[in-house]
Structure 1
């Protein structure tokens, strides 16, 4: 795996509101936060750009709504922000894809000559997957460290239920099989970013 010197890490929605288990239900991958922190550290220490994405939910009962404590980044992310303003972007969004945020992610990446992105964060099968898919559609080489994401059990149509692990596997198969992204592990990316 070759990671370019300007490959961007896109950290999607790592917010306190996702800790509210009563709202979201059971989650998977308890090591995800450690892996996300490790990726941020590797990217910052190598001077590569990091994009911090915050979801500002328009839903009045959402733990991610603006003005609510859950809208803030998790502490370990907040502690890592602002280390290199020249190679860091903070954007907000109210939909699934980070490419529909403010300021515009695609324009920022293209202006910096970025061709590779790494997408990590929450939720695996929602905003992280949507951002990865769109990145692939826009022509970026996308890496998706599955172990640096997590999601929650979900109920769909007709009462169908999938566990967080099943949803994560479905995302990995869809991204990989569909050619949207290379699904990898955090350790592989950290080793390649040295």
Structure 2
């Protein structure tokens, strides 16, 4: 068994019901993520899906949207964990599962590059995991800068995430690095 796990973070229907949702980068993200999942299966990596849940809104169980996006088809041995905080490790049961599976290396992918993906990366590094942040297998959306009100593009957000994580918390990779 491999000591590596691919984490697929928050790739859930909830996002499609948020005002900032954009299809602009979604097709490329979907293709890259599916290729990465295929590679992970070929290499024998564990694949773990994580969902985010909140009390109200599109991320609540009552909404019916706290489920994987339809293009994802987990195998029976690919667990799904649910979290209520920004990192996937500390309260979802995932950390204990990874320990039980003797996982020491994580590949990070998913939605909201700068939020749950980045936070999980930082926490994983602090917990001693070797982490690859698979930048092109993450997705985010434009945001308004709080100081000057300018629009920050997804590309700018991803570039910033890569800059602050590189060699501190993770290696920055792309899906092509695994083919």
Q: Which runs of 5+ in 2 are unaligned?
A: none
Quote the residue 2:123 is aligned against: 134
TM (normalized to structure 1)? Answer: 0.82
Give yes or no for the alignment of 1:53 onto 2:43: no
**Is the CA contact (8 Å cut-off) linking 2:15 and 2:21 kept in structure 1?**
no
Show the 5 A alignment for 1:37-186: 37-58=34-55, 60-61=56-57, 63-77=58-72, 79=73, 81=74, 83-85=75-77, 88-102=78-92, 104-161=93-150, 162-177=152-167, 179-186=168-175
Give the deviation of 1:57 after TM superposition. Answer: 2.0
Distance 1:111 1:94 in 2: 22
Q: 2:61 and 2:90 mapped to 1: Cα distance? A: 17
CA distance in 2, matches of 1:167, 1:28: 15
Aligned-residue CA RMSD (Å): 2.0
| 1:10 alignment partner in structure 2 | 7
Distance 1:164 1:26 in 2: 10
Q: TM-score, length-normalised on structure 2? A: 0.89
Q: Deviation per CA, 1:103-141: give whole Å up to 9, x if none.
A: x22221122111100000001000001011111111111
1:32–1:149 contact (8 Å) kept in structure 2: yes
Contact 2:2 2:103 in 1 (8 A): no
* CA–CA distance in structure 1, aligned partners of residues 70 and 158 of structure 2: 25
Distance in 2 between residues matched to 1:132 and 1:117, nearest whole Å:
9
Q: Which moved more, 1:128-137 or 1:25-34?
A: 25-34
Equivalent pairs counted in the alignment come to 177
Cα distance between partner residues in 1 of 2:147 and 2:82: 33
Tell me which protein shows more helix as a share of its residues. 1
Q: 1:69 deviation in Å?
A: 3.4
